[in-house]
Structure 1
């Protein structure tokens, strides 16, 4: 097992999740060291959230291998869940708009004190346990960059009255109270302005720099991607793969792990039953297809097949997410 005291190393090879109606994603390759910032980029319905849930032990994989902190998936899913935390995941780990910031924090600290520690810790004097809980909450708020005093009603501010970036920071702070080795954040940049997006990525970079491995789903990777391990879900069809790609499933150059000095690769082929689906493409590679051989010359049956592939991708991801929400 990985003995690193803080962040968890994350690796995957040919990793995939399949739902009743098809693949949510597959052919994901990833290598990131402890304390890395991993950005998962892709269009909606391409399996981004499913990948996040699978790598944190909340969803069972159907293909390939993966390890988090030296714990193999899916064999050690329960152990992986114990060292990871989710933030801002709709339907799985989300804020209650009716509760206040203080109520969320107190509830999370209570759960951490009751279930996150040892029996010996529960037997300590009450004032010691309360002081420790307060220190955990204060540390998590500081790391997430959320100052309750700056909110309209302070700690009594309702979640429904928070700005989007403030809500994201609160969700991250709640996840950090448990001291995870891997923090997984969904919809990191959803409906954020450019300045808010920069603030969100600055927060996540800071967490990674402090030693926590961060896995963040996004529509756009952070500007100045130095040190970011980029994984892409979704892409071109298998038929568009460059010649010579092994097995018809080309890998996408996903990014560089600056710490380990390795390239991380990822691709998806989400069509069921071996049909061609979405595959990654090498970043920077141009298409050999000329305008004369593009959409104008496509067979109508091929166009219909493309549409079915996209539907299968989204249906597979939706099925897998529904199963995760019920578990």
Structure 2
């Protein structure tokens, strides 16, 4: 498989407001293709909202952003097509009752159904099966997950996976689609120090292969392009903590997350098409 060319991500005064205030505001970001971008901040600081807005799943309220040359919010659907979600609670979660093999097979079938060309669909069944298997194996290798080493190999249920194994599986599922941008939520949640280092090594290797990575975390790794969401003024730096407007004034208060399905004035932040894409990410569309 040829390595996908990552998408450059830029933003200026990017913000999203909900009925109870700003989820994030004033985001400034300039990341080249193939970058590792860390969205750093405590839970409830708008980290996930920013991740979903930059992947075209939530409609911003102000400012501008571009992903792979596609403008947000004007080209949200196009951004969704070149980006893929890893684990995002409530949007793209693994089904604990499914086995590893079932998740992989379902994602490969969805990929072929929605993204395959007519010529590919007309290929002999054996050829299509071999191509799907190759795509799965390539994604598993990139995610560092060897099903043969799991307790029941590919028949292992998601509920029996360790946290890091589940993260690797989610990343592999996302990479089956060969996205230009991979987005991962709660990267370092419930991981030991050693596991956290492994998780960042995984995401850095994905970025090094050419795919831009956008990862939510509580603490960004050294060398990542870091966006902080702990305050209402949000900016990005390369490898160091950003100094925000609220930091400078000494006043900071995390905004509450917006209720994106109820506020008309933000133009239906989660659109019907975006909702369909979100369900497709889980394999239930």
Distance 1:280 1:230, change over 3 A: farther
Asked if structure 2 preserves the Cα contact closer than 8 Å seen for 1:92 and 1:325, the reply is: no
Asked if structure 2 preserves the Cα contact closer than 8 Å seen for 1:16 and 1:28, the reply is: yes
Asked if structure 2 preserves the Cα contact closer than 8 Å seen for 1:229 and 1:264, the reply is: no
Distance 1:204 1:147, change over 3 A: same
Deviations along 1:112-135, one digit per CA (max 9) or x if unpaired, are: 111111112111111111111001
Q: Partners in 2 of 1:80 and 1:266 — Cα distance?
A: 29
What SS does structure 1 have at the residue aligned with 2:111?
Answer: helix
- 1:229 partnered with 2:245: no
The equivalent of 2:40 in structure 1 is 41
Q: Which of 223, 242, 247 in structure 2 is aligned with 1:281?
A: 247
Distance 1:324 1:195, change over 3 A: farther
The equivalent of 1:319 in structure 2 is 259
The equivalent of 1:200 in structure 2 is 199
Structure 2: gaps (5+ residues): 263-268, 276-285
- 1:127 partnered with 2:109: no
Deviations along 1:71-118, one digit per CA (max 9) or x if unpaired, are: 000000000000000011000001000000000000000001111111
Structure 1: gaps (5+ residues): 238-248, 258-262, 268-278, 290-301
Distance 1:217 1:206, change over 3 A: same
Q: Give the 5 Å matches for 1:197-276.
A: 197-222=196-221, 225-226=222-223, 228-235=224-231, 252=235, 254-256=236-238, 267=244
Q: Partners in 2 of 1:47 and 1:31 — Cα distance?
A: 19
Deviations along 1:15-69, one digit per CA (max 9) or x if unpaired, are: 0111122111110000000000000000111100000000000000001000000
Deviations along 1:273-321, one digit per CA (max 9) or x if unpaired, are: xxxxxx4537xxxx8x8xxxxxxxxxxxx9xxx8xx54xx12xx15138
Distance 1:191 1:208, change over 3 A: same
Deviations along 1:239-275, one digit per CA (max 9) or x if unpaired, are: xxxxxxxxxx6x64x3228xxxxx99685xxxxxxxx
Distance 1:182 1:266, change over 3 A: farther
Distance 1:41 1:264, change over 3 A: closer
Asked if structure 1 preserves the Cα contact closer than 8 Å seen for 2:41 and 2:230, the reply is: yes
Q: Partners in 2 of 1:164 and 1:113 — Cα distance?
A: 28
The equivalent of 2:65 in structure 1 is 66
Answer 1 or 2: higher relative contact order, Cα 8 Å, separation at least 6: 2
Q: Give the 5 Å matches for 1:69-88.
A: 69-88=68-87
Deviations along 1:205-227, one digit per CA (max 9) or x if unpaired, are: 000000000000001112xx12x
What SS does structure 2 have at the residue aligned with 1:320?
Answer: coil
What SS does structure 1 have at the residue aligned with 2:15?
Answer: strand
What SS does structure 1 have at the residue aligned with 2:29?
Answer: strand
Report runs of 4+ in structure 1 exceeding 6 Å deviation: 263-266
Matched length:
265
Q: Partners in 1 of 2:80 and 2:246 — Cα distance?
A: 28
Q: Give the 5 Å matches for 1:171-182.
A: 171-182=170-181
Cα RMSD after superposing both structures: 2.4
